[in-house]
């Protein structure tokens, strides 16, 4: 089974995000790029399938300076190949990303494409279904379970709904699955191994240029005004705990 | 082309999803401004009987055919594409659910219509839709227009009141039978969630843990606090994905919706998917190390601090007070 994992970088939410002076994009200088956490689950699920059934895993990401580390990390975790598609700096719309991935993947052999169910910046929809439709293959999103059939011609997947209800689908391969959660916590790659690969291995680059458009015009970005904000409880942890207990007591929320 | 606002009605097991009513309500408001109609679009087994719940819509399009008896991403997309092509509505609204995500993005590509995802607000300006979407984990909103003035939107649950879209009685019905099908994805069955040891929807006090607890062993700190308060421990998605707590304890979009008297959110940043499941709790107290965490926008009280110090202290003080 040949599995492709389609990955993208997103701004790290641990950092304070700043809006550019133009008002409709993020200040690139204030952004640290990290791998989309759901793509990490997609990679883990791919590696688990490979561990169980054999085959190969290739990780693909849109080319940028920041993406190298994510691709070397994928290799360190057990991916057989890591490929950079074109040159894309900064945020890329999902439609443009899907277009570039579709062009790159068009000439490849594969049975299954896994990607993260969503990303924190995919304003114009999720890459998985866009890519699948572009490639004219089926897709299922919000997938929490993947089982390959005995003849490796289809997969049985679970799609998750509100309240924990699942739908079971049988999907002909090749297909794109948007992974919500891998069967196991994404594995850890030792930093030393990633560094070693960065020195020794090289990433394959596939030509590609931005093409297509989201069809959206972002007028402005803004920090949402919320209906309210929590009343902040000051003091060290002990003092804060004391104040919380007082609040709970006043409201009759302590056990009688 | 029309100024109609279409809404995909999501239903499962003979029940129309609450989000569908939220969208119908908003569609009515927008259609009133655009001079079009609010049109409910419903597919699949049981669709014809469920139209009796869609009285708030001006019209319903019931799409029936063997290929759409049960929801599949590809089947719905294949059946909806010609309907959108024929009517060319100003907007087609989908819930930002698994169904909505799959079909909206699939249609966007297949029908070459732009898609604005994660919407929390919608309005018209000079007759053109303006969509406000929530991105970056709820930290930033984006206000957008469609370059060509019309498109598809997926809306986050809870963005609009459901009341405005809830009215018994059937609207005018247009039946469409379709032979569209895409058997590459085949529905097999629905699987109900396993019953857990604790029903978090019935607990009046929840101590809910998120990624900030860092390790499985630290959940014990939350359990001790929950015990002291006579409540239960719930969690956000990452904790359940990691296997530290069962799925039955998950609060949020793909978990359960809870409304306890007290919701103590510990180490939960407050992504939109989580807020969807707990924002109606009577009292929300949040503890997080990041003062900018979105959870503080829905919490009544907040503490910026280290949960590993705060939780034991809180447990001890409650035990002292309760005696």
Q: Which domains does chain A have, with CATH numbers?
A: 2-206 (3.40.50.620)
Contact B138 A224 (CB under 8 A): yes
Nearest to B23 by CA among B142, B163, B176: B163
CB-CB neighbours of A252 under 10 Å:
8
H-only helix segments in chain B: 18-34, 47-50, 73-87, 98-110, 219-229, 237-241, 272-278, 295-298, 307-322
User: Chain B: nearest CA to A200, how far in angstroms?
Assistant: 32
CA-nearest residue of chain A to B264? A244
ipTM of predicted complex: 0.91
8 A C-beta contact, residue B100 and residue B10:
yes
Grade residue A14 by pLDDT with cuts at 50, 70 and 90.
confident
Q: What is the pLDDT of residues A76-130, one digit of tens each?
A: 999 999 999 998 877 789 999 999 999 999 989 999 999 999 999 999 999 999 9
Minimal Cβ distance to A215: which of B147, B154, B205: B147
Q: Does A27 touch chain B (CB under 8 A)?
A: no
Delineate the domains of chain B, giving CATH numbers in brackets: 5-177 (3.40.50.620), 200-322 (3.40.50.1220)
d(CA A119, CA A37): 8
Q: Is 90 exceeded by the pLDDT of residue A196?
A: yes
CA-nearest residue of chain B to A141? B102
Q: Does A95 touch chain B (CB under 8 A)?
A: yes
Residue B295 token pair: 């959870």
Size of interface A-B (CB pairs under 8 A): 280
Consecutive 10-residue runs of chain B (323 residues): their mean pLDDT? 96 93 98 97 91 96 93 95 96 97 96 96 96 93 96 95 94 92 94 86 96 95 96 95 91 92 96 91 95 91 94 95 83
d(CA B26, CA B32): 10
8 A C-beta contact, residue A99 and residue A132:
no
Q: What is the pLDDT of residues A169-178, one digit of tens each?
A: 999 999 999 9
H/E element, A200: helix A191-200
Instruction: Tell me the backbone φ, ψ of residue B22, rounded to 5 degrees.
Output: -60, -40
Maximum pairwise Cα distance, chain A = 69
Model's pTM, two decimal places? 0.90
Contact B305 A185 (CB under 8 A): no
Contact A229 B296 (CB under 8 A): yes
Looking from the CA of B321 toward its CB, the CA atoms found within 13 Å total 23
A45 contact residues in B (CB cutoff 8 A): none
Residue B190 token pair: 């629905």
Residue A226: the pLDDT is 63
Q: What is the pLDDT of residues A27-60, one digit of tens each?
A: 988 899 999 999 999 999 999 999 999 999 999 9
Which of A217, A253, A256 to probe the B interface (max B CBs under 10 A)? A253
């Amino acid at each position: 089974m040949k599995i492709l994992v389609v990955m993208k970088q997103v701004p790290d939410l641990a950092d304070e995000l700043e809006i550019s002076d133009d008002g409709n994009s993020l200040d690139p200088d204030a952004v640290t790029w990290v791998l989309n956490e759901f793509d990490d689950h997609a990679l883990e699920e791919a590696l688990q399938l490979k561990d169980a059934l054999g085959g190969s895993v290739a990780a693909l990401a849109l080319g940028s300076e920041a993406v190298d580390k994510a691709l070397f990390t994928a290799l360190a975790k057990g991916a057989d190949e890591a490929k950079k598609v074109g040159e894309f700096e900064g945020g890329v719309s999902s439609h443009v990303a899907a277009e570039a991935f579709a062009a790159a993947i068009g000439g490849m052999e594969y049975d299954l494409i896994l990607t993260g169910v969503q990303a924190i910046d995919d304003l114009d929809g999720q890459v998985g279904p866009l890519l699948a439709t572009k490639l004219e293959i089926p897709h299922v999103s919000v997938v929490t379970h993947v089982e390959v059939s005995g003849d490796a011609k289809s997969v049985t997947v679970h799609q998750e709904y509100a309240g924990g209800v699942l739908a079971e689908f049988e999907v002909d391969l090749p297909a794109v699955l948007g992974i919500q959660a891998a069967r196991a916590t994404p594995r850890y790659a030792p930093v030393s191994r990633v560094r070693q690969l960065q020195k020794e291995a090289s990433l394959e680059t596939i030509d590609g240029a931005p093409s297509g458009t989201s069809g959206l015009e972002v007028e402005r970005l803004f920090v949402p005004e919320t209906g309210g904000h929590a009343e902040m409880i000051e003091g060290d942890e002990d003092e804060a705990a004391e104040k919380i207990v007082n609040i709970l007591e006043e409201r009759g929320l302590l056990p009688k | 082309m029309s100024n109609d606002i279409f809404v995909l009605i999501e239903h499962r097991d003979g029940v129309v999803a609450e989000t569908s009513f939220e969208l119908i309500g908003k569609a009515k408001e927008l259609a009133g401004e655009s001079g079009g109609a609010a049109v409910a679009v419903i597919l699949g087994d049981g669709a014809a009987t469920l139209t009796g719940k869609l009285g708030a819509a001006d019209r319903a399009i019931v799409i029936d055919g063997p290929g759409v008896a049960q929801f599949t991403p590809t089947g719905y997309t294949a059946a909806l594409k010609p309907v959108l092509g024929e009517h060319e509505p100003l907007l087609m609204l989908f819930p930002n659910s698994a169904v909505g995500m799959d079909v909206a993005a699939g249609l966007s590509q297949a029908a070459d219509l732009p898609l604005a995802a994660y919407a929390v607000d919608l309005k018209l300006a000079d007759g053109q839709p303006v969509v406000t979407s929530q991105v970056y984990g709820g930290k930033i909103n984006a206000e957008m227009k469609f370059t060509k003035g019309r498109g598809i939107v997926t809306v986050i649950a809870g963005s609009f009141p459901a009341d405005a879209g809830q009215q018994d009685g059937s609207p005018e019905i247009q039946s469409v039978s379709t032979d569209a099908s895409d058997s590459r994805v085949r529905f097999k069955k629905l699987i109900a969630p396993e019953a857990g040891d604790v029903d978090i929807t019935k607990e009046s006090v929840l101590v809910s843990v998120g990624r900030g607890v860092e390790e499985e062993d630290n959940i014990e700190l939350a359990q001790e606090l929950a015990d002291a308060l006579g409540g239960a421990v719930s969690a956000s998605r990452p904790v359940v994905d990691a296997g530290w707590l069962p799925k039955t304890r998950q609060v949020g979009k793909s978990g359960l919706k809870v409304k306890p008297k007290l919701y103590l959110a510990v180490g939960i940043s407050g992504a939109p998917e989580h807020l969807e499941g707990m924002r109606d709790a009577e009292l929300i107290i949040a503890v997080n190390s990041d003062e900018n965490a979105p959870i503080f926008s829905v919490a009544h009280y907040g503490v910026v601090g280290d949960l590993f110090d705060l939780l034991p202290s809180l447990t001890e003080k409650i035990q002292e007070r309760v005696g």
